[in-house]
Amino acid sequence: MNTPMSLAELQTAAEAGSAEHAFALALALADAQRMDDAQHWHLRAAEAGHVEAQIEYARMRLYGIAGAPAPQTATQWLLRAEQAGHPLASDLLMQIALGGMALPRDGRINERLHRAVQANFPPALLTAAIHFGRKSHPDDQSLCMQLLERAAGRGSAVAAMLLAERLAHGEGCEAQPEIADDLWAQLTANGAVRLPDFTLPPPDENDTAPRHLSIEDALSPPPMRPLSAQPRVSVIDRFFSADECRLLIACAQPHLHDSQTADPITGVPHTLQVRTSSEASFDPLLENTALRVAQLRMAAAAGIDLPNAEQLTVLRYLPGQQYRPHRDYLPPGTLQMDRPHAGNRIRTVCVYLNAVDAGGATEFPVPELRVEPLPGRAVIFDNLMPDGSLDADSLHAGTPVEAGVKWLATLWIRQRRYRHF
């Protein structure tokens, strides 16, 4: 049995020119939270042609670990790793391109996804499965099931959870509840939490040829149904598919914590009775391509580009929990603490992710409007007036859940660019 090398031994080997040891040293330094040193040795290994080091160095530059985010630099290193055939590089380049900043949002996204699917890369299989699962054609539904099976067979727990729900409800297949229960038994034994029980028909009609991969579909949301002119409130029913709703819940569950509300004077977040939910926010480190596509769809529905959006937040409300009347625009203290150059929250997009047994509606007191929480339904509303001033009429509340659980995805969108990519 080989004894692990010490940091000193790894550094000696790395300084002698071993790219493999330079990469191992970088990983060990990162584990020791010495991020500046880790980045240095990732770069040394990357320059020597080590593909995994090229990806790790790119990730550090992309996410701003040990320095300011540098998406352009990250992109160049990922392109080199992609040329070596690494599917993770293609997956990360897709995420960058979906933002449309460091890379153009063009047909190369579909090409990269197709290559990663051919390589059986689980995140790509999941992304493609959800894409085809939105389409109502039987061939697309069948392909969705095949892709989920391939992703689950290669270790994707989220894909296995989506597959189990489709088997339980007969979505894209004959209902097979016993097989679904067996799959869930395996998942829960490994720490997974069962997803809410609901089903939805595919939101997209047969408007494209079956088996056609076109991620840019996310940029063309269905038309809104206006509910109020002041404040401006609209809804889109069947905005998310059942797979997309389940994806967000499954990805959020391991990261839930008590929701907090910013102090209106200082901007410091606190846990307050005004907001009693749990939540998970998807830092870029926690994102995957499927989540990124869902956010692109939400931003497109708001008519604003994705880089203006804050991180996606998924909230869970248990019986009795609520969000009392509030407004989404940020108080001065919070603005000063969180990228003031991006301006305030001009628009909010919320999507209900499950069927709530009772309660949990969103109420807007000024127009006397109540929006019921139907799975897949999006609610889009403005927080600012057209001139950029605060809209006090945007007051709204998440009413108490009376029975069951309510899951909600929220994307707050700023006036100007908020994200780095």
Q: What is the pLDDT of residues 253-282, one digit of tens each?
A: 999 999 866 555 555 565 555 667 899 999
**Residue 222 burial class via C-beta count within 10 angstroms: exposed 0-12, middle 13-18, buried 19 and up:** middle
Q: What is the tally of structural domains in the chain?
A: 3
Q: Is the same domain home to 282 and 410?
A: yes
- pLDDT of 141 above 70: yes
Q: Is the same domain home to 68 and 131?
A: no
pLDDT at site 205: 73
pLDDT at site 105: 94
pLDDT at site 276: 75
Q: Is the same domain home to 58 and 156?
A: no
Locate tokens 């002041």: which residue?
A: 230
Q: Is the same domain home to 58 and 179?
A: no
- pLDDT of 192 above 90: yes
In the predicted model, what is the mean pLDDT of residues 307-331? 96
- Single residue among 173, 189, 205 that ends a domain in this structure: 189
Q: What is the pTM of this model?
A: 0.94
Residue 249: partners with Cβ closer than 8 Å, 6 or more residues away: 195, 196, 314, 353, 354, 407
User: Which region among 35-39, 205-209, 393-397 has the lowest average model confidence (pLDDT)?
Assistant: 205-209
pLDDT at site 277: 83
pLDDT at site 261: 62
Q: Is the same domain home to 109 and 168?
A: no
Locate tokens 């979906």: which residue?
A: 98
Q: Is the same domain home to 280 and 354?
A: yes
pLDDT at site 262: 58
Residue 280: partners with Cβ closer than 8 Å, 6 or more residues away: 251, 252, 253, 254, 255, 256, 257, 313, 314
Q: Is the same domain home to 88 and 128?
A: no
pLDDT at site 158: 98
Question: For residues 45 and 22, is the Cβ–Cβ distance under 8 A?
Answer: yes
Q: Is the same domain home to 228 and 306?
A: yes
Taking only the tens place, the pLDDT of each residue in 361-371 is: 999 999 999 99
pLDDT at site 388: 96
Residue 398: partners with Cβ closer than 8 Å, 6 or more residues away: 277, 317, 322, 323, 360, 361, 362, 406, 408
In the predicted model, what is the mean pLDDT of residues 280-295? 94
